[in-house]
Amino acid sequence: MWRPCVSHLTLATYTDMTDRPHSSYTPARTFGLPIALGISLVLVWLLGDGATDLLMYQRTDIEAGQVWRLLTAHWVHLSTQHLFLNLSTLAIIWWLFGDSLAGRTGYFLTGLIALGLTLSLFLLHPDVWWYAGFSGVLHGLLIAGALISRHHAPLLSLLIVLIIVIKLALELTLGASSTMTKFIDSPILVEAHLYGAVLGGLGVLLIELKKTVSNKI
């Protein structure tokens, strides 16, 4: 049985970003990534069905050599509500943790989460034939932002991590919210949210390991 699925919801240089004080951030460094992501998400939506057909995760096409779909699938949305929800979530993440995700740290985490997520689907879920949406990446960025911010905003970071953990536990146990599924007018792949969150944590671990190694040299 196959499952059509959609998701609604980025080294020494990278590690330097996590410890810089708020005053060292410029608007371009802090907001360049979310602005670029927002514009590109909207652009793909405006390009319509042609872009969707070319960029969406399609297992058979990936097996035939169209490997770019492993990355571009996250930029495809199947309804206006789907796109709006993810853009809103992106804005909230940068409002909460923009300083922590600024500059190359954010680009690194976005790339790692996006590619790692769809590779996980490809390798672990042969029954998932198609997939689209940015929410898996957003789950990862939210977890990463919270973990990076844990020293200067411990209560907020703990709250966000707890909310995501509880949300994932409920989704994996009870399935995706029927209300959300109806709202975005598409099925939701809860495993994508799980993989995104795990990869966000892994990305922070890699950044901090690199920092530790650099400090010992």
CATH number, domain at 191?
1.20.1540.10
> Which amino acid is residue 73, in one-letter code?
A
Give the Cα-Cα-Cα angle 147, 189, 140 (nearest 5 degrees): 15
pLDDT grade for 5, boundaries at 50, 70 and 90: low
pLDDT of residue 143: 98
Across the range 92-121, mean pLDDT stands at 97
Contact 148, 100 (CB under 8 A): yes
Domain holding 133, by residue range, is 3-216
pLDDT tens digits, one per residue of 190-210? 999 999 999 999 999 999 999
Q: Let me know if 2 is exposed, middle or buried by CB neighbors in 10 A (0-12, 13-18, 19+).
A: exposed
Q: Who wins on pLDDT, 68 or 1?
A: 68
- Whether 18 shows a pLDDT value over 50: the answer reads no
pLDDT at 147 exceeding the cut of 60: yes
The single-letter DSSP state of residue 130 is: E
**Whole-angstrom distance, CA of residue 153 vs CA of residue 146:** 8
* Tokens, residue 134: 């940015």
| Residue 164 to residue 64: CA distance in whole angstroms | 36
Closest by CA position to 76, among listed 192, 214, 202, 207: 192
Residue 9's pLDDT is 53
Q: Examine the pLDDT at 166 and tell me if it is beyond 70.
A: yes
Cβ partners under 8 Å of residue 40, min gap 6 = 75
For the chain, the domain total comes to: 1
**Mean of pLDDT over the chain:** 90
